[in-house]
Amino acid sequence: MSTIVKEKDIVIPGDVLAEGMDYLPGDNTYRRGEKIYAKVLGLVSLPGRVIKITPLSGPYVPKVGDKIIGRVTDIAFSGWRVDLETAYQAMLNVKDATSRYIKKEEDLSKIINIDEYIIAQIINVTSQNLIDLSLREPGLQKISGGRIIKINSQKVPRVIGKQGSMITLIKEKTGCEITVGQNGLVWLRGSSDGELLAEQAIKRIEQKSHQDGLTEKMQRYLEGHTQ
Amino acid sequence: MVYKKRLDGRSIEELRPMDAKAGVIPNANGSASFKIGKTWAIAAVYGPREMYPKFLQNPKHGVLRCHYNMMPFSGSGERIRPGNNRRSQEIAMVMTKALEPVVDLSAFPNAVVDIFVELPQTDAGTRCAAISAASIALADAGIPMLDMVSSVAVGQVDGTVVADLMYDEEAYEGVVSDIPVAMTHNGKEITLLQMDGEISKADLLKALELAKGATEKVYQLQVKALKEKFTLE
Amino acid sequence: MIHNKDTILDLAAQQKRIDGRALEEYRQPIKIETGISWTAEGSARVQIGDTVVMAGVKLSQDKPYNDTPDEGGIMVNAELLPLSSPEYESGPPGPKAIELARVVDRGIREAKAIDLKKLKKLCLTPEKAWFVIIDIITINDAGNLFDVAGLAALAALRSARFPTVNLETGAIDYKHKTSTPLPLLKEPLPVTVYVLNDALLVDPNADEESAYDARLTVASDADGTISALQKGGEFPLSIEQISAILDLALEKGSFLRKELNKAVP
């Protein structure tokens, strides 16, 4: 009739989280008989009567509305094929790429070429995880210069921080523009020293993501490197 | 002659010294090293990723695909020619079957999760070490799983039921049986069961009972390896 | 997956690197362990940065080749395991694995690193000689496989000991090693210098390795003798560039040799 784990405990698949019917199985958990079990490696989260697990690793699951970063891998009649470094291909249709009218015979590679990166938004995900993208929102664009780094997509919320506090801190201390894609690709652009420091800071957050007081730690880290 | 005292002095239910570590291959989505005695398995998980060749895709759920390979210098005799052989293909198949019951890939239609296991050195029990390493690597990769799978061989050496046979015991004169077993932790359900040799029904059931305790010891080490990775960082 | 090629080339033009290292700086940690596989006659695991390679030496007895009746032989094989990178697939070695094996092989063979005549003399079965097979196995490919593989091969050779042989039957007992090491005459180590936008650098990470214009692998001995060369990449090299590359390669060769001597005395 109780929980066996507490908030922020690290659990592994198959760990018993609670017994009895007082709790409800939330994300990444399952019930069998009287017990609720963990289904992934992660941290326990107990908001009220629902038990959830926040994964510490694992694949990106595409969701409508997510802002992602991807690389154009091919050009088709109707638009661009984009690699999000997941198991699934994404398409950017011509009509979702720009509000401008694009003539039928226009060379699409002049607009976005193969191997170029874009910041885009997911506008549709099918049951088979096929993904449609759009560039028709402010801030969505083809990117150039700077560097792309990859982190585990499950660590993205920590890199962004509460109300964007962490990413704002890194931007301020390194002078970089930073865009974090929900799929785990991050784009940085600034001075070469600034980019390097921002990359090291983000990798550090990825590694220490489950620790308490991370914002304060990162503040000290960044100040120590910018004096 | 009854086999009373084991060749290396272990008690009958005692496993060889073990060591496990999660996250040993930075390029992989999840990975693990698992040592038991002088047998060493390294596992890497890649995926979910696009499945090639495409005709192997399953539109209903992701596919788990295991690969097992002994390094050319990992056998106790002459060098092993590199490449797939019938033995490694069969072991890859039984590994897949041992892990499939706990892995939930329903969220990843058409995709594949590849597990590669390599053995730098061996002294019996390689498929069990491979499965134990793979289970840690899958959890490390954040793959949804209902439970962990732990694996170890049990068997009977000249009338005595023992856990974790080493090569010299498998080769012992007299009646010997080698029974690789994999079990889930919560239900103690058997997901791998093979046997070479001869054994009575009574001894077989006794061996499987012994496997419960033996796999539990493997499980405790798997938990430790995973928790260490995420607490030390 | 290739990231940041343009940025890497821009930085190289300013004599800078994407991870903040100096051009001639190897990654850390550099770790060399031997005796990692009891089933091999010699074995090593070498790590530079995130790149990890294992090497194993197996010894066997066979008939000498017809054209060299009084010599044993060596063979080098390399496997780029799909375990070590998402880019690699299962199957027989491709061109990249074959080049890696050949470069390491040439460094050892052409330097006459192993005394092949001694491999014949040390074999007491009259019609046979010892053969040395080195297997190079990638565990995590994060760039610069040539140097890491060369170091691993040499560490494994240094640590190798002959197995015992039953004098009556001629059978090899692989479970019991003697204290006899391999007859090593020289110990060549490869260093690969990469040319990026006219900058010369060593020990590229995976992203840098996908951005280079040309590379030259230089295997050199403790006294600075060059024993093998391999040029790669699409861009040609001038003689002046080659001269500068050789200076850097010889300097870094002795740096890596110190690391090896510390780990495997």
Give the closest-approach CA distance of A21 to chain C in angstroms.
Answer: 43
The pTM of the full predicted model, rounded to 2 decimals, is 0.96
Task: Tell me: pLDDT of B232 over 80.
Answer: no
Task: Tell me: pLDDT of A1 over 80.
Answer: no
Q: Which residue has the tokens 């990026």?
A: C196
DSSP letter (8 states) at residue A82: E
Report pLDDT digits (tens) over C28-66: 999 999 999 999 999 999 999 999 999 999 999 999 999
Q: Which residue has the tokens 């201390």?
A: A173
Q: What is the ipTM of this complex?
A: 0.95
pLDDT > 70: percent of chain C: 99
CATH code for position C224: 3.30.230.70
With beta carbons less than 8 A apart as the criterion, state whether C202 and C248 touch.
yes
Domains and CATH numbers, chain B: 18-232 (3.30.230.70)
Q: Which residue has the tokens 């890491």?
A: C148
Mean pLDDT of chain A: 93
Phi/psi at C264 (5° precision): -130, 80
Mean pLDDT of chain C: 95
Report pLDDT digits (tens) over B28-51: 999 999 999 999 999 999 999 999
Work out the average pLDDT over A51-80.
95
Q: pLDDT at position C1, please?
A: 52
Q: What pairing do the DSSP bridges indicate for beta strands A35-38 and A67-75?
A: unpaired
Chain A residues with at least one Cβ partner in B under 8 Å? 10, 12-14, 16, 28, 30, 37, 39-42, 55-59, 61, 86-89, 127-129, 154, 207-208, 210
Total tally of structural domains belonging to chain C:
1
Task: Tell me: pLDDT of C7 over 90.
Answer: yes
Confidence of residue B4 (pLDDT cuts 50, 70, 90): confident
Report pLDDT digits (tens) over A5-40: 999 999 999 999 999 999 999 999 999 999 999 999
Give the closest-approach CA distance of C52 to chain A in angstroms.
Answer: 20
Domain that holds residue C149: 5-263
Work out the average pLDDT over C200-210.
95
Task: Tell me: pLDDT of C2 over 80.
Answer: no
Q: In sequence order, what are the beta bridge partners of A117? A: A71, A143
Identify the three-state secondary structure at position A70.
strand
Q: Which residue has the tokens 């990231």?
A: C3
Q: What pairing do the DSSP bridges indicate for beta strands B111-121 and B176-184?
A: unpaired
Confidence of residue A227 (pLDDT cuts 50, 70, 90): low
Q: Which residue has the tokens 């007082």?
A: A22
Task: Tell me: pLDDT of B137 over 70.
Answer: yes
Tell me the three-class secondary structure of B66-80, residue by residue. Answer: EEEEECCCCCCCCCC
Higher pLDDT among residues B156 and B2, named by residue: B156
User: What is the C-alpha to C-alpha distance for residues A209 and B56, in angstroms, rounded to an integer?
Assistant: 37
Domains and CATH numbers, chain A: 10-55 (2.40.50.100), 67-143 (2.40.50.140), 147-226 (3.30.1370.10)
User: What is the C-alpha to C-alpha distance for residues C215 and C220, in angstroms, rounded to an integer?
Assistant: 16
Nearest to B187 by CA among B148, B217, B224: B148
With beta carbons less than 8 A apart as the criterion, state whether A141 and A177 touch.
no
Residues 6+ apart with CB under 8 A from B213: B13, B163
Find which of C36, C39, C84 to mutate to test the B interface (most B CBs within 10 Å of its CB).
C39
Nearest to A225 by CA among A195, A190, A185: A195
Q: pLDDT at position B103, please?
A: 98
In what order do the strands lie in the sheet containing B39-50? B18-22, B30-36, B39-50, B111-121, B63-70
Confidence of residue B173 (pLDDT cuts 50, 70, 90): confident
Q: Respond yes or no on whether the N-terminal peptide bond of residue B82 is cis (omega within 30° of 0).
A: no
Identify the three-state secondary structure at position B230.
helix
Give the closest-approach CA distance of C174 to chain B in angstroms.
Answer: 6
